[in-house]
Amino acid sequence: MESGAGNITILVVDSDELVRITISVLVDSFSYRCLVAGDAPEALAILATTDVDIVIVDLRLPEIDGLELLATICEQYRRVGVIIAADLQERVNYVDIIRRGAIDLVRKPIDPEELEAKLLRVGREREMLRKMAVLSSHDELTGLSNQRGFEDELAKEMERAFRQRYTTFAALIVIEDFRQYIERYGHAAGDHVLLTMTEILRECTREMVDTLARLREDEFAVVLPQTTPDQAAEIIQRVMLSFVENGFAGLYLSIGVVSCPRNESNTLTGDMRASLAEMRHALADARNDGKNCVIFRS
C-alpha cells in the first residue's frame, strides 16, 4: 500500500451491520482510515463534522437510498468522491451511476482485490485533484486562498455552522491608496506591504481554524467560524491596530464585517452570495466613513 493511504479517510455506509464490518475491515487492511454509518442521516452527520475523501455507499439504504445520498453529497460536499456498492443481481447501469456523480461502482459481495485496486486509483485521483485545487485556489505571492478558494471555504463553513448551530463571521479588508503607494515607492515596496498584511492576518487569527484570502491586488478576506460578535470584533481590531502600528506612509484600512447565516429555504450558493453582497455593502460603508474604519454587522 502506498504511504499516502493513511492520509485518506473512507466512510462506509451500509444498513447491514455484517456488510459494514466486512468492508471496513478490508478498508482498514489497506491502511486507510475508515469510518462507518448505517444510513444516510448518520453519514451526513459524519460528513458535516469530519473531512472525508471517499464514501462507499450501498445503493439500497432505508428511507434515503444511495442515489439520493449521492446527489446530496455531490451538492454539499463536492470534493468527496462516492463509490456506489450494489448487489450482483441488481440491474444497475454503470454509465448512469457515473452521470449522477459517482466516481465508480463496486459489486457485492465485495472482491478484496477489486476494491483495493479501485481505492488505489481513486486515491491517486483524489491526491492529484487536491494538489491541483491548492494551485488553483491560492494566491502565488502570499500563499493565501484566492477568490475561488475563499468562496469554497466560506460556503463550507456556512454549511457547517448551520448544522452545528454556531455563528460564522467574515470580513473584507481593503488597503486604501495602495495603487498610489506602488506608484510612489515601487512594486517591491508594494509586495512588502502585502506580505506584511499576510503576516498580520496570520498572527491575529487562529491557525487551522480561520480562513485567510487575498481576493484582489489590495483586498483581503477572513472567515471566522465559531466566533461570537465580540470575538470577531476583537480579531478584526487586532488586525487594524497591527497594520496601523507598521506605519506605511499614506496607507490605511477599510473593513466590513458581517455574520454569514444559512436559510433552509435558500440554496447554500444563494446564501453564500447573499453574505458576499452584505460584506461588500459593509465595506462600502466603511470606505465612506473615513480612514481605518470598521463596519460591523452581526
Kindly report the number of other CB atoms within 10 A of residue 240's CB atom: 20
243, 200 contact by CB (below 8 A): yes
Domain boundaries, the chain: 3-136, 147-297
Q: Which contiguous run of DSSP H or E holds residue 289?
A: helix 268-289
Quick one: CA torsion of 220, 211, 123, 268, rounded to 10 degrees? -90
CATH topology of domain 3-136: Rossmann fold (3.40.50)
How many other C-beta atoms are found inside a 10 Å radius of the C-beta of residue 17? 10
Q: Which cell numbers in the block locate residue 39?
A: 444510513
User: pTM here?
Assistant: 0.60
236, 230 Cβ separation under 8 angstroms: no
In angstroms, the CA 121 to CA 117 distance is 6
Considering the chain, what percentage of its residues have pLDDT values greater than 90? 74
Give 188-217 pLDDT, tens digit per residue: 999 999 999 999 999 999 998 999 999 999
Cis peptide before 261 (omega within 30 of 0): no
Q: What percent of the chain stands above pLDDT 70?
A: 96
Element (H, E) at 141: none
Given CATH 3.30.70.270, say whether it is the number of domain 147-297: yes
pLDDT at residue 220 in the model: 97
* Among 123-132, 183-192, 265-274, the range of highest mean pLDDT: 183-192
- Segment 140-187, tens digit of pLDDT: 899 999 998 899 899 999 988 998 889 999 999 999 999 999 999 999
For the cut 90, the answer to whether the pLDDT of residue 14 exceeds it is yes
Mean pLDDT of 99-126: 90
pLDDT of 71:
95
